[in-house]
Chains A and B, each alone.
Chain A
Amino acid sequence: MSVSPTQPVIGGAQVPTDDGRSGPTRRDRARPWKRAPYLIAVALAGVVFTYPFVWLVSASLKPRTEVFDNALVPKTWQWSNFADVWDYAPMLSWIGNSAIVGIAAAVSVTISSALVAFGFAYFRFPGRNLLFGLVLATMMLPQAVTMIPVYLIWNEIGLTGTQVPLWAQNIFGSAFYIFLLRQFFLGLPRELFEAARIDGSGFGGLFWRIALPLCRPALAIVFVFEIQASWNDLLKPLIYLQDTALFTVPRGLKSIIDTFGNGGEQHWEIIMAASLIATIPMIIIFAIAQKHIIEGIATQGRKG
């Protein structure tokens, strides 16, 4: 974890702000003690937000009887919890499955959404506004409405019980990412494309050689978002996967909770260890792609 849970205040104060466009007024800057109340408030909130993590890590290392003692540092360090998870569940292959599904989902959705977004951003054609309106409309469409017929389609093709339905729909793009990428494409100077056209480049060339390379950060955002979405997805694996060996991380974790949790053996320390294992890859991704993720989220709220 990139955050030191014990010293958020000190650690935080050292990190320079990433952009100074707004923030405190000039008067405050001149008088740093004016910041103190904000710093304290934010630091307190930071502790509240960090503590569950710390609790998770700590509980995953405790023996069963100490899980609820809420001590920050385990009285007894029980590393064997992780061995037990490994022993009970094919955690590693679940992580592998999630990685495969996540990468398939992310690669397909990034390429396809970029294609479609470029179509909407660059060209002016009859029906464009109507179609783009439909893209926006499908963003609002609850997955639940199409869940059953989509299941029946995959069932018809004979792909239920495989991992394909977890990602293959992404080949056709996803409304949200189309919307996001279109914003980025619209931000590119038109002259670049006109120049390439004059040099004899085809539309495909405009896309591959100009639009895509220039929008690499945006593509990274889409890619990472989809990896995360896929890593989180519980509903689709519940519907489509029956073979334990094919489970993804959330589905596998759910089965661990079913076995060891309430009504099961109440081995909360095992569940916490498994939850931690499931979380770590996302934390690593966050550590690597933090800038893209934050930027991507921030973009969402801005007016398109």
Chain B
Amino acid sequence: MTITRRGLITGSLGTLAVGALSACGGVGDSGNDASKGGAGKGDTGALSTQGFGKPDDVGQARIDAFKSAYPNVQVNLNEGDFDPQQFLSAVASGNPPDLVYLDRGLVGSYASRGAIQPLDDLLGGAGIKTGDYREAAIKEVTLDGKVYGVPEFYNTRNILVNGKAIEEAGLTLADVSTTDWNRLHTVTRQLYRAAGGRTTRIGFDPKLPEFLPLWAKANGADLVNPDGSPNLEDPKIIEALTYALSLIDEQGGWSKFKAFRDTWDLFGAGNQFVKNQAAAFPWEGWYVNVLVQSSPKIDLRSTPFTDRQGKPITFQNGSAWCLPKDAKNPAAAVNWMKVMTSTDTWLKAGAARQATVEQNKSIFTGLWTANTAADEQVKAKYVKPGPTGFDKAVENYYAASDYAFGVNASKAGSEIKVAWQEAVNRALSGQQKPDAALRQAQSEASKAFSAAK
């Protein structure tokens, strides 16, 4: 017993000491004139990452760009998606990765916990200008005026429509609109198909719980207040959730709906559009690049998600590169952030995607990044006219990038997100009514918000 207890105390002291040391190291390294020669420039040493999944062509091109710019840095990608438990255990045990790649919505929570460090002192040295990035993305990674991450992708949502399904139902694209909620109900029912008690086509997928921010905004409310406090029991949000749920109830109820959706071949040649298993749903722009692989077989249509007044709205999200507490090679880490998100690199990534596209005899459907200049240049250089439906979709997503909003940053962003997602799940599964579910979420989120430092 005494052993363990002493262990606890010396352990925490040790952690504090290491933390203090590396904090000093961090500041020293950030200056370009660091006395230790190359070490301070971040062009040597090891660089391990967490949360960056298996890179595709675009990811690989950018990794290659870094490797050729910094050949002496040993890059070790821990492939696999961001896993909060994996990351926090690593930080708690003092073996953090040198970089972590996570959803921008989570940045506030990890920052307030001290699991990631502010970058302000380091960005300038590496030549990263926050002004180069889209404002909505930078806002997401900023907490109390400090910047904690460098944003990468910038995903927005539009409604993708299966032309075949709407024609079968005798409808037109204009009918698939989120402006008139009563009308959308009818349209959903007309597009939905079932046979023998089993769902065979989803008419309109409101994409819950993920897209609750969109439904809330469409009804004029934000999940997170500008000061970062949760706003989950707002009557407008309750109404929005109730409505979105009713769309699912219209289509056989959640458990059937979800079980059917789980069987889709989302990324394959037999995807839900090819097999006519889905009529319409809001989705991120990158999905067009998946669908384009089946392009002649799909009659793709698209239309913006609109609020109840008919104004196009969309929310954006994406990941950011952050620097974990006690990271051992901050200078190289910041160089990585710079290279991975610079305009030049995105152009190289565009070239790589173009090569893939040519190989597959497909078309370039855009890269959606948080770097405004990169997006424009990539678009100008690579986006060429293709099948009309796809052209229009790409056009819509480029437009969406300009009016997208972000969920407000919060020191309890992760907890708030978990709270509302679980609330939606409880409501979906019928355990709670939307108002009760969101009220519980609000109380959980408020508790987390006031507990956060």
Whether the complex brings A and B within 8 Å at their CB atoms is answered yes
- Interface set of A (CB-CB < 8 Å, partner B): 63-65, 68, 88-89, 149, 152-153, 155-156, 158, 160-161, 238-240, 242-245, 255, 258-259, 262, 264-267
Contact pattern, B 257-272, Cβ under 8 Å of A = 1, otherwise 0: 0000011111111100
**Chain B residues closer than 8 Å to A63, beta-carbon distance:** 268, 270
Q: List B contacts of A243 (CB < 8 A).
A: 48, 78
Given contacts A239-B89, A265-B267, contact A155 B11 (CB under 8 A): yes
List of A residues within 8 angstroms of B10 by Cβ: 156
Docked Cα-Cα span, A156 to B76, in Å, equals 26
Are A258's CB and B262's CB within 8 A?
no
B130 to chain A, nearest CB (A): 30
Asked if A160 and B89 make an inter-chain contact with CB atoms under 8 angstroms apart, the answer reads yes
Q: For B7, what are the chain A residues with a Cβ–Cβ distance below 8 Å? A: 152-153, 156
Residue of B nearest to A241 (CB): B86
**Please, which residues of chain A bring their CB within 8 A of the CB of B76?**
245
Q: Which of B91-99, B213-221, B334-342 contacts A (4 or more CB under 8 A)?
A: B91-99
B263 nearest in chain A by CB position: A68
Q: Interface size bucket, B side?
A: 35 or more
Q: How close is A268's CB to chain B, nearest CB, in angstroms?
A: 9
Residues of chain B contacted by A158 (CB below 8 angstroms): 94
Let me know if B93 and A262 touch, CB within 8 A. Answer: no
B67 vs chain A, min Cβ distance (A): 18
Given A153-B4, A259-B81, 7 more pairs with CB closer than 8 A: A63-B268, A155-B11, A161-B95, A242-B95, A245-B78, A266-B264, A267-B268
B83 to chain A, nearest CB (A): 7
Produce 1/0 per residue, B98-110, CB < 8 A to A. Answer: 0000000000000
Known interface pairs A243-B48, A244-B79, A259-B80; A155-B93 also in contact (CB < 8 Å): yes
Is B53's beta carbon under 8 Å from chain A? yes
* CB neighbours of A244 from chain B (8 A): 78-80
CB neighbours (8 Å) of B262 from chain A are 262, 266
CB distance from A92 to the nearest CB of B (A): 15
Interface residues of B (CB under 8 A from A): 4, 7-8, 10-11, 48, 50, 53-54, 76, 78-81, 83, 85-87, 89-90, 92-95, 97, 262-270, 275
Which chain B residues border A240 with CB–CB below 8 Å?
89
By a CB distance below 8 angstroms, the chain B residues around A267 are 267-268
Chain A residues, CB < 8 A from B86: 238, 242
**Closest residue on chain A to residue B1 by CB atoms:** A149
Report chain A residues within 8 Å CB of B270: 63-65
User: Within the assembled complex, what's the spacing in Å between the Cα atoms of A265 and B270?
Assistant: 13
* In the complex, chain B residues whose CB is within 8 Å of the CB of A89: 79
When distances are taken between beta carbons in the complex, the residues of chain A under 8 Å from B92 are 155
- Please tell me which one of the listed residues A152, A161, A238, A245 contacts residue B8 in the complex, with CB atoms under 8 A apart: A152
Partner of A65, one of B8, B78, B80, B268: B268
Once the chains bind, are A88 and B263 in contact (CB under 8 Å)? no
Shortest B193–chain A CB gap in Å is 18
B50: A residues at CB distance < 8 A: 242
Contact among B81, B93, B268, B275 for A161, CB-based, below 8 A: B93
Q: How far is the CA of A168 from the CA of B269 in the complex (A)?
A: 48
What are 15 residue pairs bridging A and B, where the CB atoms are less than 8 Å apart in the complex? A63-B268, A63-B270, A64-B265, A64-B267, A68-B263, A152-B7, A156-B10, A242-B78, A242-B87, A242-B97, A243-B78, A259-B53, A262-B262, A264-B81, A265-B266
Q: Point out the residue from A88, A152, A161 that lies within 8 Å of B54, measured CB to CB.
A: A88
Contact of B4 among A152, A258, A262 (CB under 8 A): A152
Contact (Cβ within 8 A) B89 A242: yes
Query: Which 8 interchain pairs have the tightest Cβ spacing?
Result: A65-B270, A160-B93, A161-B95, A242-B90, A244-B78, A156-B7, A64-B268, A255-B80
Q: Which residues of A contact B8 (CB under 8 A)?
A: 152, 156
Give the distance to chain B from A71, nearest Cβ to Cβ, in Å. 15
CB of A156 within 8 A of CB of B263, answer no
Measured CA separation A297–B8 after assembly (Å): 40
Which of A68, A153, A161, A258 is within 8 Å of B80, CB to CB? A258
A64, A149, A262, A267 interface centre (most CB from chain B within 10 Å): A64
Contact residue among A153, A155, A266 (Cβ-Cβ distance under 8 Å from B267): A266
In this complex, the member of B50, B89, B92, B266 whose beta carbon has the largest number of chain A beta carbons within 10 angstroms is: B89
- Of all chain A residues, the one with the shortest Cβ separation from B90 is A242
Complex Cα–Cα for A136 and B317 (A): 54
Chain A min CB distance to B91 (Å):
9
- Whether B11 contacts A152 by the Cβ 8 Å rule is yes
Closest chain A CB from B292 CB (angstroms): 16
Q: Please name the residue on chain B nearest to A265 by beta carbon.
A: B267
Distance in angstroms between the alpha carbons of A128 and B48 in the assembled complex:
52
